[in-house]
Structure 1
Amino acid sequence: MDRDLGAARELAVGLAVRAGRLQIDRRDTLRVGAPKAHANDVVSDVDIDSEQLIVDAIRAAWPDDAVQAEEGHGRDGASGWKWVIDPLDGTRNYISRTGPWSVCIALYQGDEARMAVVHEPVAGETFSAVDGGGALLNGEVISASGGGSLAEALIGVSFQPNPRTKDRAGRLIREVLPLAGDIRRLPAALNLVYLACGRLDGGVALDTKLWDIAAGALIAREAGVVLGGRDADFSTELTIGAGPALWAELSEKVRKAA
């Protein structure tokens, strides 16, 4: 079944902006629920309501599409298309007011990402891409960093804060930080879209979920970022990204450390 990906992007951008506005408006009155998988895996009523807003509109527009969403509003579909949604990537930052977060929406056809949106509410920045159509930031074309020296590179690091992954991240940082210009810890989606617009030279994400990286990965790829993991394909277990000039050096170091 064909799909108008431009119309899908237009809908996703509008929904991401609406969800981001809800998140800003309700930040002073949010309620934090019980942790999910571990003590640092927190969720708020704003996460849940943001997801409901997005999913309800997608169901109204394309009722036969599948939905995979972080906070449980998923469903099977019959169209061959699937929406992958993280309504608030970076909940800990959002709750604690210590850093950025984003709204992430991706559309898959089978196993292939075809459209993606990542919206950062506070900055008012909306990153988007359509498969084969390049990557945009607020409607303007973006591209990956051309930097090729790891010693001068700014590297984004993302990881789930469970004990096992923190141990992996600690080993990675011990190996890579002395060789790099500097690192920044970021939610996975923003790590990838900051790679896409050249703010970061490289990035690594450990033990994510598909909804954390689905949208950002397509945007990064469309901006010219090279993506991989333990081998040629990136995965939720390990995602490495860099501009073409830095890719070989960074991926070699990360694979050894991670």
Structure 2
Amino acid sequence: MASTREILGTLDSWLQPGNFQDYCPNGLQVEGKAAVSTLVTGVTASQALIDAAIEAGADMILVHHGYFWKGEDARIQGMKRARLKRLLDNDINLVAYHLPLDDHPEYGNNRRLADVLGLVRPRPLNGLVWEGELPEPLSPEQFGLAIARALHREPLHVGGGPQQIRRVGWCTGAAQGYIQTALEAGLDAYISGEISESTTHTARECGIHYYAAGHHATERYGVQALGDALARQFGLRHTFIDCDNPV
């Protein structure tokens, strides 16, 4: 068992949220117990995750997508009230890290996705976008199959780049807008979670392969790695709960 304050201090030390201008508050979002023995991690603090975490006896839930996003209705009603009530009734801490978790060089979503996809020499390219290489060139169809096998979800492939893919860029989640960064770097393919109508035209007309591999599917791995690290550091019981999301 460890104190909530000590865990939060460690997370802030590792992730350095003060270095980011984010769309939501990073760190403790809903205060619960002063001590933690059971940690549950997940991608999004949905009702399904909260209910499953309560069943698992969680003292703290750590997620990538938490609450209180800029521009959203601040009133506590409906879905927001139901979620918060369950957290408060069960005295569970909700902790969320958004951009700091995407960016982290060890526990970050981008870094961990590289491992899952088997990309070599993963490194930051520009901002949140990373780049790396395939161990050996693959056709666009072969690369799509490799992504599907790794993420257990068939990606949407659009565009038209070279017949063999070697150099790849990526940014997890809703980062399709960074395709221009991949183009400027001369990459063969770019991966993100979602796709916009305009992404298709950019990929086709500018000659790059684009793979929309799923927002949820590309962001499952950073929070797991972070939870495992906390479990080792503080002797916590850690469970990652994957609430299915097709997007």
Which TM class, normalised by the smaller chain length? under 0.3
Larger Rg: 2
- Relative to the length of structure 1, the TM-score reads 0.25
